[in-house]
Amino acid sequence: MVEQYKQQHPYLLALDSIIFGFDGERLKVLLVKRGVEEETWSLMGGWLQPDESLEQAAARILFDLTGLTNVYLEQLYAFGEPHRDPIVRTISVAYFSLVKIADYESTISEQFQARWFSIYDLPPLLFDHGDMVDLAIKRLRYKAAQHPIGFELLPEKFTLPQLKKLYDAIYNTDFDKRNFSRKILSTNLLIKLDEKQKGFSRKGAYYYQVDSIKYQQLTSSFLNFIPNSEAIP
């Protein structure tokens, strides 16, 4: 019985994160130089520890780099080509996360050489990390078209022009602002605040924030790509 387990080969298990951020103009990915090949940019990653779940490990690794917790984190795909890591066979479970770039600025760990890159101007990446980024971009586009996850990339308070710029950046296009507002507001997911954004434009745009109750309902009923997790406290 337990013999059956002992005959099996074990493998190293890594986690790699595609960390998206939005600087107001461009959709960006956070890359680091690390480990074995310090010459090459790569995704932030690390090893699974014996006492943690995959998601906990991904969250820990993200925290080590950015100092952020409570970040949007979704499993992307498990990559397991036999020679994807040429040194030792390693299975990598990739996660993608959406961070509020301003939050991150202040908390970044200095022990990593990290830099934001526009998704349209990426350097060559380690191993199959380029595939991971490509897939993450596709998934983000696919998902953001139907789920209101874009907010995760913006500050708590944001204006409609900011939100439109984000979607423009995600889809590399230029949406019509009238149709865009109509569609976004028809979800009833945004609460208009009395406050206007100062400084950027003469007129100033009203701030909005997400109606977090409605947002929870939507995400829990639909974002259920992520299952169970008995062990998440």
Contacts with a copy of itself by CB under 8 A lie at 1-2, 4-5, 8-13, 35-36, 47-54, 75, 77-83, 87-89, 91, 93, 128, 131-132, 134-135, 138-139, 224-225, 227-231
Tokens matching residue 55: 């998601």
Q: What SS3 string covers 40-93?
A: EEECEEEECCCCCCHHHHHHHHHHHHHCCCCCEEEEEEEECCCCCCCCCCEEEE
Q: Which amino acid is at 65?
A: L
What is the 8-class DSSP label of residue 125? Answer: B
Q: Which does 93 bind (CB under 5 to 8 A by kind): DNA, a copy of itself, none?
A: a copy of itself
Which residue, 65 or 190, is less far from DNA as judged by CB? 190
Q: Which does 12 bind (CB under 5 to 8 A by kind): DNA, a copy of itself, none?
A: a copy of itself
Distance CA 122, CA 39 (A): 15
Which residue, 110 or 230, is less far from a copy of itself as judged by CB? 230
Distance CA 134, CA 132 (A): 5
Tokens matching residue 172: 């590399």
Q: CB of 91: closest distance to a copy of itself in angstroms? A: 6
Identify the burial level of 43 via C-beta atoms within 10 angstroms of its C-beta, where 0-12 means exposed, 13-18 middle and 19 or more buried.
buried
Q: Which does 81 bind (CB under 5 to 8 A by kind): DNA, a copy of itself, none?
A: a copy of itself
Which residue, 53 or 118, is less far from a copy of itself as judged by CB? 53
Q: Which does 231 bind (CB under 5 to 8 A by kind): a copy of itself, DNA, none?
A: a copy of itself
Q: CB of 172: closest distance to DNA in angstroms? A: 16
Q: Which does 140 bind (CB under 5 to 8 A by kind): DNA, a copy of itself, none?
A: none
Phi-psi region of 184 (alpha: psi -120 to 50; beta: other; left: phi over 0): alpha
Q: Which does 40 bind (CB under 5 to 8 A by kind): a copy of itself, DNA, none?
A: none
Contacts to DNA by CB under 7 A: 159-161, 176-179, 181-183, 186, 196, 198, 200-206
Q: Which helix (H) or strand (E) holds 5?
A: helix 3-6
Which residue, 50 or 199, is less far from a copy of itself as judged by CB? 50
Distance CA 192, CA 207 (A): 6
Which residue, 71 or 184, is less far from DNA as judged by CB? 184
Which residue, 9 or 202, is less far from a copy of itself as judged by CB? 9
